[in-house]
Amino acid sequence: MTERHDAVTIIAAKRDRGELSDDQIDWVVDAYTRSVVADEQMSALAMAILLNGMGRREIARWTAAMIASGERMDFAGLSRPTADKHSTGGVGDKITLPLAPLVASYGVAVPQLSGRGLGHTGGTLDKLESIPGWRADLSNDAMLAQLEDVGAVICAAGSGLAPADKKLYALRDVTGTVESIPMIASSIMSKKIAEGTGSLVLDVKVGSGAFMKSYDDARELAETMVALGTDAGVRTTALLTDMATPLGMTAGNAVEVRESVEVLAGGGPGDVVELTVALAREMLAAVGRDDVDPADALRDGRAMDVWRRMIAAQGGDPDAELPRARETQVVTAPSDGVLARLDAFDVGVCAWRLGAGRARAGESVQAAAGVELHAKPGDAVAAGQPLLTLHTDTPERFDRALEAVDGAYDIAEPGADVQRGDIVLDHIR
């Protein structure tokens, strides 16, 4: 077969800040999926896109090409309306775990096609796989049946859904090209549009622990994705949310599952509860259920009931003991005062180095690895008081993990007025 384009010319065009034609984009996405374009060539193109960007037309065409690389799902046969949520990734971001069953408890189908860890951010599937027996891979038929019966499913995207993105997603993770706005937007929206959900709420993170460090970049990404979704007929909105500090009091895998169960039981950290409820309100409003308060279903146990059924439906034991790390190490406060800053990125890197994330595509992660926080900004601390507990099964990881959090926090003078900022920063429709 004679190819109508070649990768080198396309790489050079984007390297030199040129615009790619629709046909070039269609070809390079398809050719990479067919392995005609090699990983090293797509790595070079991804880096050129990261450095030089893409126009709106290019992003829309790249997204369409990713969708066209595989199948499209159809939820029209379900008796429930569908609503989905996607987070751009953060540290301690376990929101999907309580959110999916919470929204489903109101008669909505929540098809959460989730991913694995990407760089310093945790992966929803990695977290859930710490539950004994739980499986991420479901057939399309099994997914549809679970949505009809239980209302919520959190699983891996099938191999037939945007296979170009699945291949490129893993490549970006290990080539320093995760932060590209065009790549993030097209990756997320190709899967979500192909998935077939009727409405979508985007949680776009802003801050040191997010891929978008600045408010302006996060807003650009959110607006790009909302436009892609709206143009494709998916009711799409976005919340910009803070990721300067880790969400909740844990970052890792099993440690985050425990915290999510606390939220479903009516407790848990205030910031996790606040964001879960805010996103639930958006999702419910998108399907016409703005007459309810989702906080009620956390208090009365309805969301917990759906969680248990969802975990069991995917082979997991909701009552099983979660893995605990064989080794721990404590980081203590060096002085009395008020915790003024706790950097989300540094905590995420620490958890990654402890074994909660992966350095290479396909690498396994430790279920028990992670970081437990004992204070958040605004909390008073005393000299010698634990600030962080590091969890791992491999203690040789402690040295590099400790390096990551050296300088990750600041302690102000006793009595200092340290304000905690809002979790939700903006709303984009």
Which residue is associated with the tokens 């009091």? 249
CA dist 14 and 238 (Å) reads: 29
Around Cβ 319, how many Cβ atoms within 10 Å?
A: 9
- Length of the chain equals 429
Distance CA 74, CA 111 (A): 11
Catalytic residue chosen out of the listed positions 43, 186, 187, 260: 187
Run of H or E residues at 424: strand 424-428
Q: Which strands, in side-by-side order, build the sheet including 250-252?
A: 250-252, 370-373, 386-392, 327-332
Whether 365 and 340 have beta carbons less than 8 Å apart is answered as: no
Q: How many CB atoms lie within 10 A of CB 303?
A: 30
Amino acid present at 35: S
Distance CA(401)–CA(353), nearest Å, equals: 5
Rounded Cα distance, 55 and 172, in Å: 20
Residues 6+ apart with CB under 8 A from 238: 201, 202, 203, 204, 222, 223, 225, 226, 427, 428, 429
Residue type, 69: S
Catalytic residue check, 172: yes
What one-character-per-residue DSSP string does 341-400 give?
Answer: EE-HHHHHHHHIIIIIS-SSTT----TT-EEEES--TT-EE-TT-EEEEEEES-GGGHHH
165 tagged catalytic: yes
Q: Is 198 helix (H, G, I), strand (E, B) or coil?
A: coil
Verify whether residue 191 is a known catalytic residue: yes
Residue the block writes with tokens 């993105």: 165
Catalytic residue among 172, 219, 353, 397: 172
Among residues 165, 173, 203, 346, the one annotated as catalytic is 165
Which residue of the set 5, 14, 61, 86 is catalytic? Answer: 86
**Placement of tokens 């979704």 in the chain:** 229
Q: Would you call 206 helix, strand, or coil by DSSP?
A: strand
Which residue among the candidates 14, 116, 120, 191 is catalytic per the annotation?
A: 191
Residue 362 near residue 318, CB atoms below 8 Å: no
> 86 an active-site residue?
yes
- Residue 135 one-letter amino acid: R
CA distance to 5, 31, 38, 69, 132, per residue, from 26 (Å): 10, 8, 16, 9, 42
Instruction: List, by residue number, the catalytic residues.
Output: 86, 165, 172, 187, 191
